Amino acid sequence: MKLSDLKVIITGGAQGMGAHFARRIAEAGGQVAIGDVNEKGLAETAEAGGGRIHARKLDVASETECESFVAWAAGAMGGLNALVNNAGILRDGLLVKKDKETGQIKKLSRADWQAVIDVNLTGATWIVRETVGKMVELGSRPGVVVNMSSVARHGNRGQSNYSAAKAALAANTVTWSREFAPFGIRTGAIAPGMIETPMTQGMNPKARDALVAAIPVGRIGVPEDIWVAVKFVIECDYFNGRTIDVDGGLSM
């Protein structure tokens, strides 16, 4: 697919990688509909889009919001043929931890587990379901879904919730590539490593520094590094059902 032909939904489009992807696609002549819970960031991203970026509040964890957002996006762009499934949150914590001073046992809370699953897996699934359903209804061929997984899908200390969600998203990239093929819709995934975004800036500084020090290329990634991979999945019509790790050689 050509970038200029895109009528694409990008979730988590208010900041970080999502905002960067939206600007890149708009620069190439495509139409973009961005959704996020951060309304201020949505407005700022849309303002930079030269009229090609449409914005509306979206909580992907809400099934009904996903449905109404997709219907709105298709109308705002005059069609729909792509999704960059990017929205995500972190609620890091060890599943079981023993306090060194008191000996007290601390456990990952159900709330922190569920919040990540609701957004990063359930919400990611709802938006794929609604987007592909609309694409099939409109007869949009070809079409493409790009899931944003993570190298944490291989397992990472302190990220039981995040790793579970991102591993499931990578697995469903294969599932959906097979299910959507009869409709002319491809599904691929990108698994970023450490990328400089507002989300990673909120990580525990000690853990963040240790991860950056372990990256063989010697630096943290930037959104443009991931955009190059997203662009490949969109443009390569023979790419389907696979996840690409883009992590500077980091092994988590």
Minimum mean pLDDT among 14-23, 56-65, 163-172, 206-215: which range? 206-215
Confidence of residue 201 (pLDDT cuts 50, 70, 90): confident
- In the chain, how many domains are there? 1
pLDDT at 252: 63
- The vertex-19 CA angle with 16 and 22, nearest 5°, equals 145
Q: How confident is the model at residue 20 (pLDDT cuts 50, 70, 90)?
A: very high
**48 is a domain residue:** yes
d(CA 154, CA 68): 34
Structural domain harbouring 113: 3-246
Torsion angle in degrees (nearest 10) through CA of 250, 86, 18, 156: -30
Whether 172 maps to a domain, the answer reads yes
Q: Is 238 a catalytic residue?
A: no
- For 82-117, the pLDDT digits (tens) are 999 999 999 999 999 999 999 999 999 999 999 999
Please state, in angstroms and rounded to a whole number, the distance separating the CA atoms of residues 247 and 156.
14
Q: Does the pLDDT value for residue 209 go beyond 90?
A: no
Say if 82 falls within a structural domain.
Answer: yes
Instruction: Answer yes or no: is 251 within a domain.
Output: no
Say whether pLDDT at 207 is over 80.
no
Q: Domain of 217: which CATH number?
A: 3.40.50.720
For residue 64, is it within any domain?
Answer: yes
pTM of the model: 0.94
Is 90 exceeded by the pLDDT of residue 198? no
Task: Report d(CA 61, CA 67) in Å as an integer.
Answer: 11
In a domain, 163, yes or no: yes
User: Is residue 252 one of the residues assigned to a domain?
Assistant: no
What percent of the chain has pLDDT above 90? 90
Q: What average pLDDT does the segment 210-235 reach?
A: 94
Confirm whether 142 is domain-assigned. yes
Active-site choice (162, 176, 180, 227): 162
Mean pLDDT of 40-64: 97
User: In sequence order, what are the residues at sequence separation of 6 or more whose Cβ sits closer than 8 angstroms to the Cβ of residue 55?
Assistant: 13, 33, 34, 35, 42, 43, 45, 46
